[in-house]
Structure 1
């Protein structure tokens, strides 16, 4: 059905747009940066800021988990329809 294809397309669109770390680090020149780009700057000579990394990691994972939760049935059906 069409809903399975839409679910898989939404999943891939979200996942590919969420993890564009390289482009975010190289093309963004303003102070406002995505979470993933900010997480790479937490390393210093005294170590890592673990509290900031944990908070940013949770903020990064939660939206993806929510998207997967809502489209999980459509993803399975869409992958099954597209098998060879």
Structure 2
């Protein structure tokens, strides 16, 4: 790890799009939110910010992913992450 890299908001350096802008502008860009009060990647039902793959046994008895996912808090089951975020099925 190079010690000469400058940490910026948890990143090694500011993204190229905001390099050269004043620090206050960088702060507002980094903290901007499309929907204040709710993370962009969250369950539409309960607001949880994580989901897990659903596993099931295959015919040989091995645990395998089913292609479905489940919200870690409310257990909402879905196949497309947009269903989890928005609550609408996408085709």
So what's the TM-score if we normalise by structure 2? 0.26
- Give the number of the structure whose alpha-carbon radius of gyration is greater: 2
More strand, by proportion: 2
So what's the TM-score if we normalise by structure 1? 0.28
RCO comparison, higher one (Cα < 8 Å, 6+): 1
